[in-house]
Amino acid sequence: MTLSSLPIVRLMPKADVRAIRHGFPWVYSNEVVLDRRTKALPAGTIVLLQDAERRDLAVATINPASKIACRVLDLDLTAQINATWIADRISRALAHREGMFAEPYYRLIHAEADGFPGVIVDRFGEVAVLQPNAAWADAMAGAFAEALRDIAGVTTVILNGSGRARGLEGLDDLTEILLGTAPQAPIHVPMNGATYMADVMGGQKTGLFFDQRPNHAFAASLANGAEVLDVFSHVGGFGLACLASGAKSALCVDGSEQALSLAQKGAEASGMAERFAVRHGDAVEVLAALADEGDSFDVVICDPPAFAPSKKALDAGLRAYERIARLAAPLVREGGYLGLCSCSHAADLTKFRNASARGIGKVGRRGQIIYTGFAGPDHPQLPQLAESGYLKSVFFRL
């Protein structure tokens, strides 16, 4: 499709044109002229974005039904959004990851930061899990699958169409095989000296969280000879890494029996089952119960789901993070370590850190911050988009 044949979407005079020119990838619905013609465009249509003075700005995509009405795909006005364009950008993303990781287990595409608005791809060896969380990518899922096969050499591509983001785009909740055959068992993923089990067909998100890899490694550096508590553990993220670094024991707590079963299998595959235990239940209730039982640990890590997924939920989310810190701190032995994590983009580092410190202080503990961590380098941040830097991890010595 040539530039002259693209439908035109025009910005309102109040829209921040400079931000778009400087790399901000989103245009909100109140910033575009949503006339009858524009509203009739199918979600995912490739368009030419113009400012209010009819000057060409970018090649973009539109979803008239979404709060994010337009997503900028390319500031190069000659760009043609097709299979070749997708393959070129995947090649760039792959070159970055291959230079860092000896084995092919990583996030291959991290949405806007890799030039693919709304697109996530996690790689598990020869299997890639694609999350097209924007209408344009959903419509081009087949082209993504073929490019992943041709460029990255994967043999299976799974479309994981679940999650809140797709709902906001008006997209269906589905899982399907785009290429190859579905894995018949969880995939063994080597990371930080342990083996993790990724259920890419029925697990949470894409099956494993690669973003915490460097924070797992830091926690593991504290854990030699330690008794470790990993709360909201999913498939054993922090606990297994700590065991691989010589922890005396690790107890993983999660509300999902399926996730804990995968954590147990990971411990067995890693040869660490005799030092590993799980406890199924609501994390808040288990933290309180452990305190009542008089338990304590050398290292405690809490990695909850996003308590503040939006600005509207920020205040309640910060109170929830404070509560977790307040419940977890009494379980840490004198001189031990408490790691607290947030994947809420609406709660910036300062707000999250302050909420955590309040929770620690309210139970009479005092902490030194010894480490602040973020997502790994396979989850790059787009400087213009705060949402791409969602993960924070703060470790205290109490």
Q: Which residues pair with 72 in a beta bridge?
A: 60
Structure tokens at 209: 């969280």
What is d(CA 121, CA 131) in angstroms, rounded to the nearest whole number?
Answer: 6
Nearest to 139 by CA among 118, 110, 111: 118
Nearest to 76 by CA among 63, 57, 89, 93: 57
Q: What long-range pairs does 86-90 form, CB within 8 A, spacing at least 24?
A: 86/140, 86/143, 86/144, 86/147, 87/147, 87/150, 87/151, 89/114, 89/115, 89/116, 90/144, 90/147, 90/148, 90/151, 90/152
- Residues 255, 204 contacting (CB under 8 angstroms): no
Helical (H) or strand (E) element with 278: strand 276-280
- Residues 133, 72 contacting (CB under 8 angstroms): no
Active-site positions read: 343
Cα dihedral across residues 47, 51, 55, 57: positive or negative: negative
Structure tokens at 48: 């030419």
What is d(CA 375, CA 385) in angstroms, rounded to the nearest whole number?
Answer: 15
Q: ∠ at Cα 287 (367, 252), nearest 5°?
A: 95
What is d(CA 348, CA 317) in angstroms, rounded to the nearest whole number?
Answer: 12
What is d(CA 250, CA 271) in angstroms, rounded to the nearest whole number?
Answer: 13
Calculate the alpha carbon distances from 86 to 44, 115, 134, 384 in Å.
15, 10, 15, 22
**Residues 344, 315, 297, 301: what is their CA dihedral angle, to the nearest 10 degrees?**
0
- Residues 86, 99 contacting (CB under 8 angstroms): no
